[in-house]
Amino acid sequence: MTEDGQAPEDRASGTGPTADGRFIQVLALGIDSAWRRLDRQDRVAQMAVTAHADQWASDAVDSLVYSSIGLEAGVDLVLWRTAPALDELEAAAARTLREGIGPWLTVRHSFLARTGPSRYAPRSTDQTQALQHGDRGRYLIVYPFSKSADWYLLSREARQGIMNEHMRIGHEYTSVRQALGYSFGLDDQDFVVAYETDDMAAFGDLVRDLRATESRRATTKDTPILVGVKREWKEIAELLGAGEISR
C-alpha cells in the first residue's frame, strides 16, 4: 500500500511515477429520480443503449462499472476507466452522458490521475496492482488523497522510513488490493487511491490500523469515499427496475 510524490531527482532521470502509464478517470454518476418514473419499456431501452455504449466506448478505453445504488447519497454508478490518452476518456465520458440514460445522469464526482511505478516499493506485487491484473474484487473503494507540504519537504530517507511502516501493515491484509493513481497537475488532489476486496470487514480493519501510523500525520484529504459493488450492466438494469438486457 503506497502513496508517492515525485522528487526532483526522479523528474530529471525520467524514472518517476509519470514516466509512463495510463490515464485514469473515476466517474461517480447520479440518476435523476424522474427517470425511475418513466415507462418500463423506455427505461429498458435506454439502459440497453447505455450498457452498449460503455462496453464498446473505445478499443483504447478499459471501463469497469460498479453499483452504488442506495449506498452513496446522490451516486448510483461508479465507473473506473483507464486509457492511454486523456482525450479518449473525455470522448468516453461524453458518450456516456449523451446516449441512453445519459441525459438523466449528473456527474457527482470526477477524479483524474495517471498510473505509474511506486517510489517507495522496490517492485510491484499482485496486491498493489488492483484493477489492472487478476480477477476483480466484489467491492471497490476509491477516494481522492492529498498530503501536506511538510511531507514533501521531508528527506527521501525520512519519507521512506514512514512508508515502510505503512506498507508493512498493508501487506498484512492480503485480501485487500490497491491501485494508486498520480493526480499531480491533473486534478485538485495528489492521488486517486482505490482498493478492491471481497471482504469489507477486513478493509475496515486495515483503515483503522493505518490511522495509527506516522504517515497519517501528513494526510490533508481523503474524502469523499466512494463505495461500489461490482456489477454487470444486466444486474444494474434489474436493480433499477429496467428489466433484463442482453450482456
Please indicate, yes or no, whether residues 85 and 185 belong to a single structural domain of this protein: no
Structural domain contains residue 164: yes
| 217 pLDDT more than 90 | yes
Structural domain contains residue 109: yes
| 149 pLDDT more than 50 | yes
User: Which tens digit of pLDDT belongs to each residue from 179-194?
Assistant: 999 999 999 999 999 9
Question: What pLDDT score was predicted for residue 128?
Answer: 65
Structural domain contains residue 210: yes
Residues ≥6 apart with Cβ < 8 Å to 191? 3, 4, 113, 144, 145, 146, 180, 181, 182, 183
Question: What pLDDT score was predicted for residue 14?
Answer: 39
User: Which tens digit of pLDDT belongs to each residue from 49-94?
Assistant: 999 988 776 688 999 999 999 999 999 999 999 999 999 999 999 9
CATH of the domain at 223: 3.30.70.1030
Please indicate, yes or no, whether residues 108 and 190 belong to a single structural domain of this protein: no
What does the mean pLDDT of the chain come to?
88
Question: What pLDDT score was predicted for residue 53?
Answer: 87
Angle, helices 200-211 vs 156-172, to 10°: value is: 150
| 27 pLDDT more than 90 | yes
Residue type, 179: A
Domains: count for the chain: 2
Please indicate, yes or no, whether residues 109 and 125 belong to a single structural domain of this protein: no
Structural domain contains residue 208: yes
Cβ atoms of 76 and 69 within 8 Å: the answer is yes
Please indicate, yes or no, whether residues 95 and 183 belong to a single structural domain of this protein: no
The whole domain housing 176 covers 119-228
